[in-house]
Amino acid sequence: MDLRCPECGEPWDMDELHDVPGLSFQDAWRTFKRIGCAVFGTKCGSGASDPRVRAVYDVLGDDVDGAAAEVEDLLG
């Protein structure tokens, strides 16, 4: 399932969070929510994210699966 970058809106496979060097899955998720796809060592894309994405992430906290599902439902 994809997560949307809260900074640029780019989709990222949730499993990518397992591959962030030096961070556990949960720490990578918390960092992704804060800085977006830069956690993967990339530069954020040029698109603007929907502000509701960050709101969903904030409300659902550490529930990565729930956040991914809610954003998918929200954005279609």
For 28-56, write each residue's pLDDT tens digit.
999 999 999 999 998 887 667 889 999 99
Task: Determine the pLDDT at residue 24.
Answer: 97
Residue 32 half-sphere exposure toward CB, CA atoms < 13 A? 32
Residue 31 half-sphere exposure toward CB, CA atoms < 13 A? 17
> What residue has token string 């929200």?
74
| Tokens, residue 70 | 């809610």
CA distance linking residue 24 with residue 8, whole number of Å: 23
DSSP state of 28: H
Task: Determine the pLDDT at residue 68.
Answer: 95
Q: Is the pLDDT of residue 65 over 80?
A: yes
Q: Is the pLDDT of residue 76 over 80?
A: no
Task: Determine the pLDDT at residue 49.
Answer: 81
The percent of residues above 90 in pLDDT, for the chain, comes to 82
